[in-house]
Amino acid sequence: MLQSFDPATGGLVWEGETAGAEAVTTALAKARAAFPGWAALPVSERIAAAERFRAVLEDRKEAIAETISRETGKPRWEGLAEAGSMIGKVGISITAQAERAGEKRSAMPFGEAVLRHRPHGVMAVLGPFNFPGHLPNGHIVPALIAGNTVVFKPSEMTPATGQAMADAWAEAGLPEGVFQIVHGARETGEALVAGDIDGLLFTGSAGAGAHFRRVFADRPDVILALELGGNNPLVAWDGDVEEAASVVVQSAFVTTGQRCSCARRLIVPEGRFGTALVEAVAAVAGRLTIGAWDETPEPYIGSLISAAAAASARDRVDALVQKGARVIVPFTGIEGRSDAFVTPAMLDVTGVSVPDEEIFAPVLQVTRVPDFDAAMRAANHTRFGLSAGLISADDALWDRFLLESRAGVVNRNRPTTGAAGSMPFGGLGDSGNHRPSAYYAADYCAYPMASFEAASAAGNKGALDGKMR
């Protein structure tokens, strides 16, 4: 039996049966059997199904938002924002499919050249806990529109949100086997990955992504789309200190630091501006409201996903301090609340050799540098490459930052977490495998098929005239 709990209260949110290896195999077989019929439908009919799904989400938006917030600990405003993103993903995916994976025809002397896109087959989708609706939805919707069938395993920490999505697709009236959900933890995921699939669409940790790269090294026929974590730099160089501090706080501490695009490393210049900014960020961090998802007034941040996640993050922070990091703002629990609640933290790691690892919590590491050359070296000193940001009014510095940054999302004077579904989202290095999601999900959900076509074979024989004995 699988259960999920409200991290703020410990209350039970959902329970249901776990899918074993046999159940996963059965689901994959149903998806395989359903694929030819679904793929053969006109794309307009698949789009109509997605639009019915969108209508169900709109009708159930409040309930889905509450499920997301209860299961993750996010404040209500964030749950509503995520439910809204799920709804918006349908229209974006329809537009992206037409633009990036549609059909194009060109007249030729013999007839025409035609570019089509065909679905891969059965797609396995593994969802994360931090955006349990929005992120898997960003794989599932374009995959189904393209003509694939889908077997979805939500995170074992957020099964209620996954089930709410499955119920919405069922209400939309998909043919049997086109979309299925399997609940469970590692064993369920392993059975799904090892099964008869044509693609794995995954959002999660860099460690899991590296594991999947190894697993599929000898299965090149399986499409692998990885959206992973990041140790993201934010270089804050000049400007209004209070405005810059706001950008830093929104980059580092939103969603209790549980976004893969959160800034983990703040790089500032030595001297007056850097010192003033660090002090301003610390002051704002100390004033942020923290609370349960349904409290009034609404908190800015909620709990971490679990007490275990908080304990793990605390161990990582303690290890940094033991290496020589200086505490600017301590990382603590909150008296009278569950152990999943933590306060935002800041550590000065200037001159300290720290691991190039993502701490999935509201923990910001500060590095002070003498010049912009050193700032760029520090920013790029990572095996990750998801997001990066620059706070500066200097256009020349921005041009250089754009040129030298190795990241898939690079923002100026905006939070590193700022992203739009109408643009690609993904990274390089240990942050992904050059298959960004969001608008570009259409690319990995279908493959191009190029054709030369003529109404008859007439005219081909002439190409051989005089060239045969």
CATH of the domain at 53: 3.40.605.10
Output the pLDDT for position 237.
98
Q: Is 339 a domain residue?
A: yes
Q: Is 468 a domain residue?
A: no
Q: Can you read off the two tokens belonging to residue 181?
A: 């959900």
Is 172 in the same domain as 143?
yes
Q: Tell me which of 66, 78, 260, 262 is the catalytic residue.
A: 260
Closest CA to 190 of 178, 206, 205, 208: 208
Output the pLDDT for position 26.
98
Q: Look up residue 463 and give its amino acid.
A: A
Is 120 in the same domain as 21?
yes
Q: Tell me which of 66, 78, 82, 227 is the catalytic residue.
A: 227
Helix (H, G, I), strand (E, B) or coil at 301: strand
Is 198 in the same domain as 240?
no
Q: Give the residue-averaged pLDDT of 81-93.
A: 97
Output the pLDDT for position 466.
79
Q: Give the residue-averaged pLDDT of 401-419.
A: 95
Is 190 in the same domain as 257?
no
Q: Which domain holds residue 59?
A: 2-228+432-453
Domain count, the chain: 2
Q: Is 427 a domain residue?
A: no
Cα distance between residue 174 and residue 38, in whole Å: 9
Q: Is 424 a domain residue?
A: no
Q: Give the residue-averaged pLDDT of 245-272.
A: 97
Instruction: Kindly list the distances between the CA atom of residue 385 and the CA atoms of 242, 299, 304, 339, in Å, as whole numbers in the listed order.
Output: 28, 31, 24, 32
Q: Is 126 a domain residue?
A: yes
Output the pLDDT for position 462.
81
Task: Compute the Cα dihedral for 69, 129, 263, 90 and give only its sign.
Answer: negative
Is 292 in the same domain as 351?
yes
Query: CB of 119 within 8 A of CB of 150?
Result: no
Q: Is 467 a domain residue?
A: no
Q: Give the residue-averaged pLDDT of 102-125.
A: 94
Output the pLDDT for position 142.
98
Q: Cα-atom radius of gyration of the chain, to the nearest Å?
A: 24
Query: CB of 172 within 8 A of CB of 48?
Result: no
Is 397 in the same domain as 437?
no
Is 317 in the same domain as 264?
yes
Q: What is the pTM of this model?
A: 0.95
pLDDT digits (tens, 9 = 90+) for 32-42: 999 999 999 99
Is 79 in the same domain as 210?
yes
Is 200 in the same domain as 274?
no
Cα distance between residue 409 and residue 239, in whole Å: 22
Q: Minimum mean pLDDT among 144-153, 318-327, 458-467: which range?
A: 458-467
Active site residue 260: yes
Q: Give the residue-averaged pLDDT of 237-242.
A: 97
pLDDT digits (tens, 9 = 90+) for 333-378: 999 999 999 999 999 999 999 999 999 999 999 999 999 999 999 9
Q: Can you read off the two tokens belonging to residue 377?
A: 């070296």
Query: CB of 429 within 8 A of CB of 385?
Result: yes
Output the pLDDT for position 418.
86
Closest CA to 146 of 182, 104, 98, 113: 98
Output the pLDDT for position 461.
80
Is 38 in the same domain as 81?
yes
Output the pLDDT for position 425.
94
Q: Where are the alpha helices (DSSP H) in 172-224?
A: 186-194, 206-215
Computed over every residue of the chain, the mean pLDDT equals 96
Output the pLDDT for position 127.
97
Is 287 in the same domain as 304?
yes
Output the pLDDT for position 459.
81
Active site residue 262: no
Q: Is 168 a domain residue?
A: yes
Q: Look up residue 322 and give its amino acid.
A: Q
Query: CB of 332 within 8 A of CB of 312?
Result: no
Q: Is 460 a domain residue?
A: no
The structure tokens 């060239």 sit at 467
Residue 113 has pLDDT above 90, yes or no: yes
